[in-house]
Structures are given as structure tokens and as C-alpha cells.
């Protein structure tokens, strides 16, 4: 046996308190127990669960062998806890709990994306004040160590952009709509029945959850303050099967992406359904898996995939963070890597929604008459929008009138220009439907 | 501006010496210069190149502004170097240089896989002795932060197995053979002309380079000592276009993989061409890209892809390591994460080549006569080998005799059983060719 580090014999165990024994907290408890031997070999000392916080006994998880506090705040104040794990979720009690724990000099590990995206600035300041760690790998993309990749592995890079499938529910629904040729509503119902979507699916299908995660990724990528309000957010509830099939016909798959991009107009942060070329790695990620594609100025594109949710995959990241914090215990008692990868977060110019550029997919219904198409293309040209591809479907009869569906794929252009062109196009007599607008990304390096 | 860490104002720069200003050293120099501002924001202090080691002036890289030592050992002894970057390659001078630098209390960052795989034990012991860091993210899979993923992000897991495309040259050649329906020799020539293969391609095409990398990955995954001799190694030089096409017909792509697997018979470490189901993520990685698929017992499968070589991608990992080491500078002056992810490396039972199991692809030529096929299948059965699929091609005439190609895909079985069955099969009168044997992996979670 060759000892490579920690020649000191038998360091005292690092003491862990877990508050919230649900899916993630229960997984954390299980993992700390079942993988204890391997973890001790990696850390060079044991992790000991000294205290649990649970308002009531959890279903299906035996916590009888532990010191259980009914008041979560008691764990934050306990003198026998070095690292507090917050897995209760939400942003009210969780915020109080984390602040209290930090004020009591405890390191905090959390999987709570909403908490970090919305209150991260306050909490990180409290951690810095107390010289303790606040880490949250599990808050983005479950078991994929993507925060660590940005913060450490790619730390030498200036990040050009990143794009991720970071909401498993949305990806499950879009994949199932495509594979089973089903509409949104019944597919959501099926996802709910299978436990892949919540009874109230708003957070997932309206893009809020993905936006929380993108907010955190953007800070890790660019060192900008956590600013949830800065994001432009669109979910998948308006995606039709028709659009999925047209996109397919044109060589694209529709994915719900979080995108953070450095542009001349500032940092562009947006969450929305996106047409992705089928050859791109992101297009082949189906079901509840998460993936992030990161373009660094030195490394080029790198791609990370894994389980984005679930008890043990998320616990894998929580416990990875516990190990990281515990590895820092020594003379300084503090992990030396900044939580977001930058020692100082610096506000940078943000790109407005109007200035934000990409290619676009436009779908509309036109009367099948001479000049209809020419009217559309000349209006697009008027606003500087050039067309990359166009698809006109066979006309169909409706109310005695021939109507045809037109799909236009544009070259890269600002959203502002598209909005202006569409305002004019919508008023044209030949246009007989709303215009569906979706972003397209080519992900060129 | 919110300061999250290092409230001390303007820490002194961390001083870096780079020895070997070739592809990787030159990229490191470029990256440290061009991304200096972003790196300083991440680190909280500057990285300063205080000394270069180059026996002669490099072509195409201007080093006139630096203090250049012609004797590499002078950089290892220099008092103004905190971190020495070794990018000269090879295992003789590089070993001496790294040992000398460690003995002089310098932290060492290297991209040298052969050095770590073959002398890592000795070098890590020297680093532990001196309480300095020796890190080598760039030694495996270029710009992909895979060592960090195993060592930190997935530290909570017991790793079940990993499989990686970790030699870009081999992957380029196999991809090109498949895409252009070309034989091995002309494809190698083309790769050499394009700079994707060396003039002497032995290290790449015979699997040595991949084996060096797998050796390092295995230590990070299982905490076993670095033991290059323990690996079973096979390259791609015997792969025929015929096998690539038969594999394709059966739904598989041939990839050159490094595989490390925890099995009941011990840890199985092998590098060889492998039939991979086309639906697996590894099958879609083409050209010089590298990818690693890791199965952890908590996280399930995770997948990492990026540039496996090249000046800036490799430098991305070198500089990432410099930042990691520099982040540890403080009261302890030492990064607290063990280089291989375990505080003690512990020998574990290794699986012998005979005990190693997988599915197999067998190809042979038979005389087209009654009973020929039955003779083969009954011999396979005799050694406990069950057949998953079989493909017999139309017979062709050769020397007045009808000969048919037979492809057999087996279920999982030990290599020992296959070897024994083949020893008998090769002697059968109906068998008119050598038997081509290749591994197949299904990568079930």
C-alpha cells in the first residue's frame, strides 16, 4: 500500500448534517452509507452523519439510527456538524437555513437551483464573510460534474458559449412527442403518470427550472453575478407536433436549451425551444438525460452527458461536494476553489432580447395565390433577414379557400429585426394564421 | 463588484516555468499569455512565466522576451519557479527533470502519459515526500477534464467500469476506413499526410498510447497502483475493411477502446478494437475526438467528449492544472485533492486475460459443405459458448472449392473459453482461414 497523502494516521471523521430527507436527501444518506469505504479511501478520513433534520419521518427511508431534529434550524446550530447538506428545496426556509448554517461557521452543500439562482449573491457573500464553503454541483444537471468542469477543468479558457439540455422533463416530453408522433398535452400526461413530470409541471415546462440552472452556469462560465432576472425564458408548452415534424423534415430536432453566449452586444442568456441540426451531439440526447455542450477558446467544443435528476445521480454530486469541502479541511479548513470559479464576480454588459441573434424558424399559413410568397420574402429582405431555406407544403382547402403552410429558415439575424418583420407580416392580407417563431442554433466552433 | 474570496489585496503572482516549448509547451505559453486576464479573475492572482527551458529556439514560437534556459534541469533548480510544467515528453530526461523539480520543492504539471503510466508511482511518492503536487489532467484525453471528473465530480461513486476512445489517431483511422471504405494501410498513409499520425505510428496504432492513458484512468477509477505491465494491449493494425463492413451489417461500429472494469474475477484492464452497438454514444464519436463513458454505481452512465490532442486543447488542461495547484497556495501551499483521487493506492486483484469476459466477434472461412456449420456450433457449445447471432455469406469459388464466410457473435463468455474453442476449431478440416477474433461490448448499465 503506497500512501500518497495524509500521512497523519486516522484523522477524525468529518461530521455531516443532512436537512430534508426526501428524494435527494434520502439518496445522500444511502450513498454516504453504502459507499462509505470507497469514500474514505478517496478522502483519507471518514464522513460521519451526525445529525438529520426532518419535520416528520420520511416514507420508505429508515432514519431510526440517527439523531433526528424536527426543527431544521437546530441542525444549522448544532456544534457537531461541520458540513450541512440542504435538500429541503424552495427558497424561503432553505434560505434561512443556509444563512443560519453559514453564520454558525458551517460549510454548506446544496442541490437547490432556485435558491442559488435567486439568492446566491447573498448566500455567497455570507459564506465569504465566514470563510466557509457554499457549493452546489448538484444544482445543475444532476450527476454531471458540469460546474466542476467549468470552474476547474476548463478554467484556462475564456468560454465562448455553452448550450445545455438541462431540464429532463422537457427533454423527455419533446423526445416522446417526436418518437411517438404525439401532441404536447397527452405526452405531458404520460410523463406525469411515469413520474417524469410534477402534478403542477409549470416550473419544468415553462422553462423556469432550466433558467435557474442556466443562471448558475452563466456565472461559472463568465464570472457574472447570479442574476435570474436577466434571462429571457420560454418553455415548451406551445410546441406542436407539426413543428417537430417540419423541423425533422428540414434536418433538425427541437430541443429545449439553456444558452449562454458571449457576443459583441454583451452576454446573451436565454432559455427556449431550439432547432438543433440532427448531426449535433445535443440532438441525439433523448429522454430524461441532461447534456451540456461548452465551447472554450482553447479547448474547442467539449460535451458532457448524464442523468440530470433522480435520487442517487443527484446525491452523487451532493456527496462529491461534501468530499471536496472535506478535502480542504486542514490548516485552512477551507476549500480553495471559488464556488463559481471566479474570485470576483463582475457585472458585464448583457445582450438585450432585441439584440440577441440566431437563425430562426418561422411557420405561417398563406393563401395560395400569386404573389403571396413574394410578399413575405420581400418583407423579410426589407428588415435585412436573409433566407437559408424555405419549405412550402401542398395547399389544402379551408372554407372554400386554398391555404398553404410556409416554413422559412433564416440566416443569423437579431430577434429585434425578426420581431419588426413579423409585426408587418402578421398584418398582411395573405397571412391567415399566427406566425410561429422558434430559434435555431448551428453551434459552429 | 462582489468579492467572494481572497479578500487580501493583490497576492504575488504564482511563478511558472515551462520546459519543452513544442506543441503543448508552446500552446501553454500562448494560453497563459492570451487568456491572462480571465485566468487572473478565476485565480485571484496572476500567473507569471518566469523561466522557459528549451535546448534550442523553437520554430514559429517567439520566446525572445523570456528567460530561457538551455539546460532543462536549470528550470527545476531555479528559485523563481513555483510550478514547473514538463512538456518535453519521453520517459528519460522527463523523469529526471520531474524528480529534480519535486526534490527542489516545486509543484509539477505534466501532459506526459508515458511518464505517469510507467514512473508515476515513483514520482507521486517523491511529490508526497516533498508535500508538493504532481498533476497530469492533460495526460489523458487532451482537453477533456476526465481525471478531474473521476477524482472529484464522481468521487462519491464506486466506479463499475469505464470505456474510452482515448487515442485520436486510431479513431481517425477507423472512422475514415468506415466512411471512405478504405483499407488500413492507405488510411494510415492519409492520416500521416494530414498530421494525424506520426511518421512512426507504432505508439498510436499498436495501442501503447491508449494503454498509457487507460493505466492512469484505472488508478483514478479504482485507486489501484499505476501498473502499466498489468494491461492487455491490442492495436488496430490488423483491422480489415471487411470486418468493419460485417460489423456495420450486424449493427455495430468498430472502435479502439480502453476498458477498465470491476469484475468478480478482479479488475479487468484492456485496450483493443471493440464492436460497439451503433446506438451507443461512443459509436458516434468520429475523427480525432476523444470520449470516455464512465459508469458509477450512484450516478449511472456519464459521458465526456472533446478534443483529445492538439496544442491549445492540451494546453487547456495543462493550464487548468496550473490554476488548480495555484488555488491551493495559501497557508498550506498544497492542493488538497490527491492526484489520482485516492489518498492511498491499494493493489487489488486483477483479472487475468483468460478470465476476462465479454461478447466476441468471430470471423472464419468454411468449406460450403453439409455439416461444416454444425461442427463449428457444436464445438462452441462444448466450451460453453452460446451464440447471439450468426451471419453466413453467399459461398464463393476458390481453387475449385466453394468457400463461405461465417461471422459468429457470441454471448458474454471468458476469453479463455474462446481461446480453447478456437484452438480446436482452427484444426478442423472445414475451416480454411485464420479465425479473426474481436471483442464486443454492450455497455449495459
A240: three-class secondary structure by DSSP: coil
Give the span between the Cα atoms of B316 and B18, in whole angstroms.
14
Residues of chain B with pLDDT > 90, as a percent, come to 90
Cβ count near B423 (within 10 Å):
11
User: Residues B86, B88, B93, CA angle at the centre, nearest 5°?
Assistant: 90
A244-253 tens-digit pLDDT: 999 999 999 9
The mean per-residue pLDDT over the stretch B213-235 comes to 96
- Contact check, Cβ <8 Å, A128/B5: yes
Q: Tell me how close the Cα of B330 comes to any Cα of chain A, in angstroms.
A: 8
Which residue in B has a C-alpha nearest to residue A315's C-alpha? B298
Same domain? For A302 and A171 the reply is yes
Give the span between the Cα atoms of A410 and A385, in whole angstroms.
7
The mean per-residue pLDDT over the stretch A102-124 comes to 97
From chain B, pick out residues whose CB is under 8 angstroms from the CB of A305: 281, 302-304
What length is written for chain A?
445
Question: What is the 8-class DSSP label of residue A291?
Answer: E
| H or E element at residue A417 | helix A415-426
From chain B, pick out residues whose CB is under 8 angstroms from the CB of A41: 223, 342-344, 346
Give the span between the Cα atoms of B89 and B260, in whole angstroms.
25
Q: How far is residue B20 from each of residues A276, A288, B26, B420, measured CA to CA in Å? A: 42, 46, 8, 49
A89-109 tens-digit pLDDT: 999 999 999 999 999 999 999
Catalytic residue among B113, B182, B189, B213: B213
B59 catalytic residue (yes or no) = no
Q: What is the CATH number of the domain that holds B108?
A: 3.40.50.720
The mean per-residue pLDDT over the stretch B64-86 comes to 97
Q: How far is residue B109 from each of residues B43, B97, B137, B139, B208, measured CA to CA in Å? A: 17, 12, 8, 10, 22
> Is residue A195 in some structural domain?
yes
- Contact check, Cβ <8 Å, A128/B298: no
Mean pLDDT of chain A: 94
Mutate to test the interface with B, among A109, A282, A298 (most CBs of B within 10 A): A298
Give the span between the Cα atoms of B130 and B415, in whole angstroms.
44
> Is residue B101 in some structural domain?
yes
> Is residue A343 in some structural domain?
no
Please report the pLDDT score of residue A337 as a whole number: 84
Same domain? For B283 and B318 the reply is no
Give the span between the Cα atoms of A160 and A298, in whole angstroms.
10
Would you say A426 and A376 are in contact if contact means Cβ atoms under 8 Å apart?
Answer: no
Q: Which grid cell is A404?
A: 398553404
Q: Tell me how close the Cα of A145 comes to any Cα of chain B, in angstroms.
A: 5
Would you say B322 and B328 are in contact if contact means Cβ atoms under 8 Å apart?
Answer: no
Secondary structure (DSSP) of A74-135:
HHHH-TT-SEEEE-S-SSSHHHHHHHHHHHTT-EEEE--HHHHHHHHHHHHHHHHHHT--EE
Nearest partner of A363 among A228, A244, A213, judged by Cα: A244
- Contact check, Cβ <8 Å, A155/B39: yes
HEC secondary structure over B175-230: HHHHHHCCCHHHHHHHHHHCCCCCCCCHHHHCCHHHHHHHHHHHHHHHCCCCCHHH
> Is residue A344 in some structural domain?
no
> Is residue B349 in some structural domain?
no
Domain final position from A273, A307, A341 = A307
Cβ count near B306 (within 10 Å):
28
Please report the pLDDT score of residue B7 as a whole number: 46
A270-329 tens-digit pLDDT: 999 999 999 999 999 999 999 999 999 999 999 999 999 999 999 999 999 999 999 988
Confidence bin at A2 (pLDDT 50/70/90): very low
Cα dihedral sign for A143, A147, A151, A155?
positive
User: Residues B25, B29, B30, CA angle at the centre, nearest 5°?
Assistant: 115
Nearest to B2 among A39, A121, A153 (CB): A121
Residue with cell 425578426: A418
A131-189 tens-digit pLDDT: 999 999 999 999 999 999 999 999 999 999 999 999 999 999 999 999 999 999 999 99
Please report the pLDDT score of residue A444 as a whole number: 73
| H or E element at residue A34 | helix A23-34
- Contact check, Cβ <8 Å, A316/B340: no
Same domain? For A122 and A165 the reply is no
Paired with A66 in beta bridges are none
Q: Which grid cell is A400?
A: 372554400
B31: three-class secondary structure by DSSP: helix
Residue A332: pLDDT over 90: no
Q: Does B320 touch chain A (CB under 8 A)?
A: yes
What length is written for chain B?
445
Strands B159-165 and B289-296: antiparallel
Which residue in A has a C-alpha nearest to residue B338's C-alpha? A5
Same domain? For A281 and A361 the reply is no
B279-296 tens-digit pLDDT: 999 999 999 999 999 999
What torsion do the CA atoms of A96, A97, A100, A106 make, to the nearest 10 degrees? -150
Q: Tell me how close the Cα of B223 comes to any Cα of chain A, in angstroms.
A: 8
Paired with A305 in beta bridges are A291, B303
Same domain? For B162 and B283 the reply is yes
The count of domains in chain B is: 3
Q: Which of residues 361-380 of B touch A (CB under 8 A)?
A: none
Would you say B138 and B85 are in contact if contact means Cβ atoms under 8 Å apart?
Answer: no
- Contact check, Cβ <8 Å, B4/A345: yes
Residue with cell 472502435: B255
Nearest to A2 among B2, B330, B344 (CB): B344
- Contact check, Cβ <8 Å, B316/A306: no
The mean per-residue pLDDT over the stretch B428-436 comes to 95
Please report the pLDDT score of residue A6 as a whole number: 45
Give the span between the Cα atoms of B214 and B261, in whole angstroms.
11
Please report the pLDDT score of residue A3 as a whole number: 44
Q: Tell me how close the Cα of B45 comes to any Cα of chain A, in angstroms.
A: 9
Would you say A217 and A136 are in contact if contact means Cβ atoms under 8 Å apart?
Answer: no
> Is residue A77 in some structural domain?
yes
Mutate to test the interface with B, among A4, A24, A139, A262 (most CBs of B within 10 A): A4
Residue A9: pLDDT over 60: no
B34: three-class secondary structure by DSSP: helix
Q: Does B307 touch chain A (CB under 8 A)?
A: yes
Q: Does B279 touch chain A (CB under 8 A)?
A: no
Start-to-end Cα distance in chain A: 46
Q: Does B319 touch chain A (CB under 8 A)?
A: yes
Worst-scoring range by mean pLDDT, A60-74, B96-110, B326-340? B326-340
- Contact check, Cβ <8 Å, B3/A343: yes
From chain A, pick out residues whose CB is under 8 angstroms from the CB of B107: none
The mean per-residue pLDDT over the stretch B178-189 comes to 97
Same domain? For A109 and A47 the reply is yes
Nearest partner of A310 among B158, B302, B162, B304, judged by Cα: B302
Size of interface A-B (CB pairs under 8 A): 276
- Contact check, Cβ <8 Å, A302/B302: no
Domain hosting B32: range is 14-143+312-327
The mean per-residue pLDDT over the stretch A391-402 comes to 90
Same domain? For B137 and B178 the reply is no
Give the span between the Cα atoms of B327 and B142, in whole angstroms.
22
φ, ψ of residue B113 in degrees (nearest 5): -70, -40
- Contact check, Cβ <8 Å, B302/A128: no
Same domain? For B289 and B361 the reply is no
> Is residue A303 in some structural domain?
yes
- Contact check, Cβ <8 Å, B152/A152: yes
Q: Tell me how close the Cα of B13 comes to any Cα of chain A, in angstroms.
A: 15
> Is residue A383 in some structural domain?
yes
Please report the pLDDT score of residue B412 as a whole number: 96
Q: How far is residue A259 from each of residues A254, A354, A440, measured CA to CA in Å? A: 14, 16, 11
- Contact check, Cβ <8 Å, A31/B156: yes
Q: Does A38 touch chain B (CB under 8 A)?
A: yes
Confidence bin at A370 (pLDDT 50/70/90): confident
Q: What is the CATH number of the domain that holds B248?
A: 3.30.360.10
Residues of chain A with pLDDT > 90, as a percent, come to 90
Please report the pLDDT score of residue B3 as a whole number: 44
Q: Which grid cell is A22?
A: 426526501
Q: Which grid cell is A94?
A: 432553505
Please report the pLDDT score of residue A443 as a whole number: 87
Catalytic residue among A213, A255, A261, A415: A213
Same domain? For A76 and A214 the reply is no
Which residue in B has a C-alpha nearest to residue A294's C-alpha? B306
Which residue in A has a C-alpha nearest to residue B303's C-alpha? A305
Same domain? For B321 and B303 the reply is no
Cα dihedral sign for A197, A201, A204, A206?
positive
Q: Which of residues 200-229 of A touch B (CB under 8 A)?
A: 223, 225
Same domain? For B295 and B372 the reply is no
Give the span between the Cα atoms of B252 and B248, in whole angstroms.
5
**Residues with Cβ < 8 Å from A260, sequence gap 6 or more?**
A161, A162, A163, A214, A217, A218, A221, A222, A267, A268, A269
- Contact check, Cβ <8 Å, B148/A144: no
Q: Tell me how close the Cα of B299 comes to any Cα of chain A, in angstroms.
A: 4
Cβ count near A348 (within 10 Å):
12
Mean pLDDT of chain B: 94
Q: Does B59 touch chain A (CB under 8 A)?
A: no
Confidence bin at A393 (pLDDT 50/70/90): confident
φ, ψ of residue A354 in degrees (nearest 5): -70, -35
Start-to-end Cα distance in chain B: 46
Same domain? For A369 and A299 the reply is no
B372-417 tens-digit pLDDT: 999 999 999 999 999 999 999 889 998 889 999 999 999 999 999 9
The mean per-residue pLDDT over the stretch B360-379 comes to 94
Number of H helices, E strands in chain B: 14, 20
Please report the pLDDT score of residue A19 as a whole number: 98
Please report the pLDDT score of residue B343 as a whole number: 87
Give the span between the Cα atoms of B268 and B162, in whole angstroms.
11
Nearest to B4 among A128, A152, A318 (CB): A128
Q: Tell me how close the Cα of A169 comes to any Cα of chain B, in angstroms.
A: 18
Give the span between the Cα atoms of B107 and A167, in whole angstroms.
41
Q: Is the ipTM of this complex over 0.95?
A: no
Amino acid at each position: 500500500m503506497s500512501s500518497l497523502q495524509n500521512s497523519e494516521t486516522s484523522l477524525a471523521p468529518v461530521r455531516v448534517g443532512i436537512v430534508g430527507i426526501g428524494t435527494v436527501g434520502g439518496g445522500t444518506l444511502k450513498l454516504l452509507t453504502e459507499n462509505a469505504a470507497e469514500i474514505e479511501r478517496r478522502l483519507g478520513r471518514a464522513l460521519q452523519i451526525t445529525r438529520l433534520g426532518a419535520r416528520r419521518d420520511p416514507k420508505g427511508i429508515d432514519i431510526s439510527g440517527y439523531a433526528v431534529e424536527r426543527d431544521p434550524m437546530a441542525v444549522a446550530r448544532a456544534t457537531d456538524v461541520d458540513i450541512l447538506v440542504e435538500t429541503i428545496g424552495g427558497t424561503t426556509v432553505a434560505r434561512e437555513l443556509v444563512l443560519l448554517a453559514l453564520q454558525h461557521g458551517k460549510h454548506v452543500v446544496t442541490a437547490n437551483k432556485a435558491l442559488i439562482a435567486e439568492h446566491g449573491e447573498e448566500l455567497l457573500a455570507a459564506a465569504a464573510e465566514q470563510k466557509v464553503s457554499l457549493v452546489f454541483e448538484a444544482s445543475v444537471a444532476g450527476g454531471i460534474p458540469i460546474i466542476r468542469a467549468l470552474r476547474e477543468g476548463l478554467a484556462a479558457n475564456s468560454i465562448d458559449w455553452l448550450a445545455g439540455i438541462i431540464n429532463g422533463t422537457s427533454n423527455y416530453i419533446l423526445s416522446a412527442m417526436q418518437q411517438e408522433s404525439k401532441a404536447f398535452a397527452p405526452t405531458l400526461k404520460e410523463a406525469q403518470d411515469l413520474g417524469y413530470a410534477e402534478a403542477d409541471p409549470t416550473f419544468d415546462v415553462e422553462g423556469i427550472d432550466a433558467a435557474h440552472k442556466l443562471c448558475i452556469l452563466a456565472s461559472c462560465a463568465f464570472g457574472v453575478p447570479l442574476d435570474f432576472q436577466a434571462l429571457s425564458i420560454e418553455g415548451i408548452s406551445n410546441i406542436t407536433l407539426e413543428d417537430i415534424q417540419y423541423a425533422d423534415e428540414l434536418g433538425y430536432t427541437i430541443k429545449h436549451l439553456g444558452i449562454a453566449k458571449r457576443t459583441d452586444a454583451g452576454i446573451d442568456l436565454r432559455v427556449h425551444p431550439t432547432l438543433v441540426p440532427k448531426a449535433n451531439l445535443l440532438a441525439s440526447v433523448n429522454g430524461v438525460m441532461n447534456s451540456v455542450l461548452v465551447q472554450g477558446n482553447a479547448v474547442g467544443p467539449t460535451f458532457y452527458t448524464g442523468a440530470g435528476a433522480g435520487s442517487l445521480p443527484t446525491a452523487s454530486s451532493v456527496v462529491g461536494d461534501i468530499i471536496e469541502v472535506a478535502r480542504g479541511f486542514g490548516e485552512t479548513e477551507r476549500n480553495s476553489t471559488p464556488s463559481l470559479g471566479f474570485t470576483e464576480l463582475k457585472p458585464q454588459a448583457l445582450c438585450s432580447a432585441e439584440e440577441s441573434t440566431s437563425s430562426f424558424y418561422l411557420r405561417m399559413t398563406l393563401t395560395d395565390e400569386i404573389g403571396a410568397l413574394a410578399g413575405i420574402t420581400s418583407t423579410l429582405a426589407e428588415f435585412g433577414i436573409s433566407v437559408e431555406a424555405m419549405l412550402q407544403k401542398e395547399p389544402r382547402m379551408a372554407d372554400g379557400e386554398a391555404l398553404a403552410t410556409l416554413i422559412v429558415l433564416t440566416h443569423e439575424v437579431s430577434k429585434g429585426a425578426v420581431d419588426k418583420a413579423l409585426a408587418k407580416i402578421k398584418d398582411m392580407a395573405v397571412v391567415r394564421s399566427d406566425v410561429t417563431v422558434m430559434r435555431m442554433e448551428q453551434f459552429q466552433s
